Amino acid sequence: MADHDSLSFTAEHEWVRVDGDIATVGITAYAAEKLGDVVFVELPAVGSPVASGTVVGEIESTKSVGELFAPVNGTVTETNDAVVASPELVNSDPFGEGWLIKVAFTELPTLLTRAEYTALVGE
């Protein structure tokens, strides 16, 4: 995915791409780099309700375990089976093929702009 400027971000190092009432969620390249080589991804089941700010999944690397937080309230409409089968996609293409979940939401919370996120991580 080429246009990172169309993304919003969370303080938990996730990116959000909004298309209508669907939010596609993944972790940022910064988070993927800090995690190291991702070896396992656990995602919520399709149809699961999620609440903004709550843990909905887990990302394990050779160095540590990270939590995936829901950035919006809603219902999981799709999970990325390719990432579950090939967790290294989180590292190799975090903004594209490494997306994690899609959530149908009714209200979008305030998210960070690219500039705000960049300032947060000091890049």
The rounded percent of the chain whose pLDDT value lies above 70 is 96
Give the angle subtended at the CA of 102 by the CAs of 99 and 106, to the nearest 5°. 145
Distance CA 43, CA 67 (A): 10
Q: 96 or 3: whose pLDDT is higher?
A: 96
- Full-model pTM: 0.93
Name the strand (E) or helix (H) holding 88: none
Banded pLDDT at 1 (limits 50, 70, 90): very low
Report the mean per-residue pLDDT for the chain: 94
Whole-number pLDDT of residue 64: 92
Mean pLDDT of 33-47: 96
* Domains defined for the chain, CATH in brackets: 4-118 (2.40.50.100)
